Structure 1
């Protein structure tokens, strides 16, 4: 990542840099205020009558977050909640632009004001110190705790984090439950804010006055994931995912927590076109990662998901050498960069769910020749995408991790899909003594540590990681750009297991919720529109194409059987040409949970692509093509819902094609079917 411009040096101290800490009895500030660069957000940090640290936020003169408390409860001492006073503050500002090696957009602007507020408890609490850093952008705010080195407090054993968010007005929330056995793989709920229980983040809210909020976290490192728990009314409090060891987090001082973030916008587009979490992560630590190229891939996967093939060895085994070569041939013919193969390794036989100790990540089963397959792929300019299903047994995976990544590099495999299929408390981690293990929650501190260990080890061998059943994305792809994608939501596979299992509004909701955290390997491209037993998807054929524009990932799958892909040559033509890496991305039409239409510019050409997805309500849209370059005429190749198309009947297969010339500022009428979508390529003429 390359720093392009610095107007004010980042973190340059301004007003009160290095403010000395006064002794008790000396006059100290009763409150600290700060604003976003354009002045629209005003932060106030103070203490209440019980000397509890609080923060509040106004936007354009209107209260957005009421007085909300800060602090920690501990398992082994007095809590860090009361008895505080402000003893000083420091301010800074930054205005920079940095470059992503891959992403929704090439350049990211980071303009913010920063204030660090220093708190100290009184003598009854041993004078412990706690700093809170706030970073205000025009479109959001992030804050984190910074615990300095100090006498009498070497290690913090955190029972829970006491971070509140008092949402000042009512509205609608879009959320999935936190702390559940099936992780994030749920259908999103749409409820009044007051009806939220404990939510996973990101959680998105549309307030009564039209303001849009999305609460999440950034830079989740060596800490437990934050869940968003309603205390009463619209007052929410953080609650950390649990640990088998009692304290939810154990950290030696000094350390910083993850950032707690709120994206803020007037519209749905303002939430989506927002790089808050990325900007709150550290710059690239890996250096040159040009060895990873964004790509599209096919794979031996949908057949197992549907039950046609098996992961286990036997007559129906999916991952055979012969079938893999067939998929490599298809990939080479149609320009796909990779072939994913699941079930290639030992450990799948029998009931593998919850028996991850049996997996080998270096030994192939008898009917899969890893060396021969990777050599065959290399001749075809295709790579094998590795698959490491752990069954949640991270102790077994970590013991083999170095050898596995070294092996994959030797075979020219620079991407691996990992998996953690297990119950919420089913992560089996090393206990510290040889051979001993313990059970951990799927996004507790130990599992957060594990995922970073995988990514860092993979980077040593130039391997990129696409994690399924992951800890949620918090923008760490900026720091570790080999962390290319995650699942972390209810994906396409659910459509194989029941009629309309995901529902037509699932993907238009993902755009404004899960996708705010980062890329998702949703596995689109089921052109047959059929799951197991011919159950239909809640999708038209055009929507399957629109997913490539609505659900971003730098590693996009064409997930159907290759025979089904080949049977739809016009649709396959779009999938082959649509990029997986972008120079710009804009949401040009959409509302939370209803529909989403993007305009994205190819990073490697002057082509633009427009399209997206719809819910169950038919819509007539008029798109304005104001994003195009002036003075150019573009040929628009259109894949859209055919007349009468609907996800509800066999008419879901109806698709229409159109070609027309357009230029900047033209309007483009577009009809979206129930459960429909669209995809358009805009290619400039000479």
Structure 2
């Protein structure tokens, strides 16, 4: 059902005289309200409430345009339109089989009193938050616009607890910090392990920025549909309560963004939930993106894969051939294909297959190093692909650009034509290192447009993309469902000997921050957790049950079993990885406190089996959860993979037990998780 109507004139409360306007907007069920008005300094401003209580105090709106100056001050309101939309839609894949887009939309049409430039401001209000964006409609004499700054403010009601990473223009691969907003300080973070890092503002963060108020309300600020624009970071102003949008610049060109009218900025989003789990269950971000633009999607398929990857991080083999321990050989790829076929995996990723890895990182002259079509002599690409097809296993291509996107763009046609000819439908892309040309950053407009160009080329070639060192996820998976998953966080490779390990609390924060943007290629499922044989004292700081639970908690439609295949042989717990789906009909957060623990349940796509994953931080924990999400009148065999009594993320990571019992929706389940531990359950319908 879709309803549309014009906002009634008596509600507008503005006139053609010198009076200032003030308009109140409401969401469905009037849970969220926004007051848009002209403040005492003639600046556009807004206030946001949730259930009648303030979420954001007076916050200003505006953009700084090079030719036109500040737009957002001394604006004449011409008219207002409003529509009500209630529409279900079915994602091609995802956490839920059906999504309801229920919102009220408002468009404000403004004219600058200083220069007659037209600018529209759009608001969409949902029961769990809102989004707004700026639009420059078609107008005579206006074509190119240079945006030097954006002044979208979010003024908080207090000094909230925040989970944040710094406003790094080149990397999201930081551990999250937990501080008050007033204590946000990039000097607290360590970026020494990052291949590229550019932090220019000390008191600024990347988004999603998630916070909790003193009263327990949860708030997350992010953006949706990031298109042809620089990404938004948030600067903490001197009052320690006001967050102001700060766009990643192009030092090469001297602007934040350069666009052509007509043009709309990305949506600036504010999600609100009484419980932490409500942020994860929110569909606001994807609902602010356009529907699927791809006509034929038969080739887009969620699934699981293994690959020649982890051994490079263990340094038992290498991406390059000159080292004498090249990993991507024809023989090894076939062995991985055999393992995938035997255990029901859909694909095999092969990294280091193409020439050029001898000069891929740490060299200033990285352009032209890779060509994405020439394999090393010990890797027969055509033979490996053909062998995989015989076994029913897809090969996943790997394109590491070494952060030289101009080289990649020059070879897109050739590289993707090769994939089409071979029938390869998936690629993992990478952008390790500082961007070439110097002065551009991973998260600036130039690279945003590059990532989109690659995604479009991939769609034309019927290729799914797993992007590493990407631009952040902002819900575009709805519009381009071949955008399967992104890294864009401190991933599991940091659990290798060189990375020092991700602390147990990491994945009790990530679902409420990075995952709000979209699916994550985190690579869960490491089984050999004591890494002392690779580096003295090294270990993965989780239990094995925690690794299993990650498949349910950390969402991705394409999940990897990343460990060496010999580490899975003979392990009973490997059965859970083989069983767990990557596509779902329903997802629920059963219990959660950000930075402490999370328990999620998901219903497999087109099946009756539910799966549960629970993770805890460095503290052992016992939680009781209701099984009321199970189907009425049905019995299930609960196959429980849990920490052993003596399991511990520091001293006994691999200790686990498997328990089976019959349950129904009337039952409760007590989850005992060790320090850094977890629990994974398959509820098999009987």
SS of residue in 1 equivalent to 2:30: coil
More off after superposition, 367-376 vs 534-543: 534-543
Aligned match of 1:3: none
342 and 385 in structure 1: CA distance in 2 versus 1, 3 angstrom threshold: same
Contact 1:296 1:336 in 2 (8 A): yes
- How far off its partner does 1:501 sit? 2.4
Pairwise mapping of residues 294-313 of structure 1 onto structure 2 (< 5 A)? 294-313=302-321
Aligned match of 1:538: 541
SS of residue in 2 equivalent to 1:546: helix
Aligned match of 1:458: 458
In 2, the alpha carbon distance for the partners of 1:463 and 1:131 equals 36
Taking structure 2 as the reference length, the TM-score comes to 0.93
Contact 1:47 1:85 in 2 (8 A): no
Matched, 1:386 2:388: no
SS of residue in 2 equivalent to 1:362: coil
Aligned match of 1:226: 232
In 2, the alpha carbon distance for the partners of 1:137 and 1:495 equals 39
Aligned match of 1:13: 5
Matched, 1:319 2:308: no
446 and 467 in structure 1: CA distance in 2 versus 1, 3 angstrom threshold: same
Contact 2:359 2:369 in 1 (8 A): no
Aligned match of 1:78: 69
Contact 1:311 1:342 in 2 (8 A): yes
Pairwise mapping of residues 215-614 of structure 1 onto structure 2 (< 5 A)? 215-231=221-237, 232-243=239-250, 244-314=252-322, 315-350=324-359, 352-354=361-363, 355-423=366-434, 426-428=435-437, 439-498=439-498, 501-531=501-531, 532-533=534-535, 535-568=538-571, 570-614=572-616
Aligned match of 2:183: 195
422 and 378 in structure 1: CA distance in 2 versus 1, 3 angstrom threshold: same
- How far off its partner does 1:194 sit? 1.8
Aligned match of 1:631: 633
Contact 2:148 2:255 in 1 (8 A): yes
SS of residue in 2 equivalent to 1:440: coil
Aligned match of 1:205: 211
- How far off its partner does 1:81 sit? 3.7
Q: How many residues align?
A: 659
Aligned match of 2:197: none
Matched, 1:46 2:37: yes
In 1, the alpha carbon distance for the partners of 2:107 and 2:158 equals 28
Taking structure 1 as the reference length, the TM-score comes to 0.93
- How far off its partner does 1:287 sit? 2.3
- How far off its partner does 1:546 sit? 0.5
Q: CA RMSD in A?
A: 1.8
- How far off its partner does 1:180 sit? 4.7
Provide Cα deviations, 1:174-214, integer angstroms capped at 9, x if missing partner: 00001254x10000000002222211100100111111011
- How far off its partner does 1:679 sit? 0.6
SS of residue in 1 equivalent to 2:269: strand
In 2, the alpha carbon distance for the partners of 1:120 and 1:158 equals 18
Provide Cα deviations, 1:548-570, integer angstroms capped at 9, x if missing partner: 011111110000000001142x1
Contact 1:86 1:119 in 2 (8 A): yes
In 1, the alpha carbon distance for the partners of 2:461 and 2:25 equals 44
Q: Which runs of 5+ in 1 are unaligned?
A: 1-6, 429-437
In 1, the alpha carbon distance for the partners of 2:2 and 2:300 equals 33
SS of residue in 2 equivalent to 1:456: helix
In 2, the alpha carbon distance for the partners of 1:576 and 1:271 equals 29
Q: Which runs of 5+ in 2 are unaligned?
A: 185-202
- How far off its partner does 1:353 sit? 3.9
In 2, the alpha carbon distance for the partners of 1:386 and 1:665 equals 47
- How far off its partner does 1:362 sit? 1.1
427 and 614 in structure 1: CA distance in 2 versus 1, 3 angstrom threshold: farther
In 1, the alpha carbon distance for the partners of 2:75 and 2:137 equals 15
SS of residue in 2 equivalent to 1:652: coil
Contact 1:32 1:89 in 2 (8 A): no
In 2, the alpha carbon distance for the partners of 1:252 and 1:64 equals 34
Contact 1:131 1:148 in 2 (8 A): yes
Aligned match of 2:87: 96
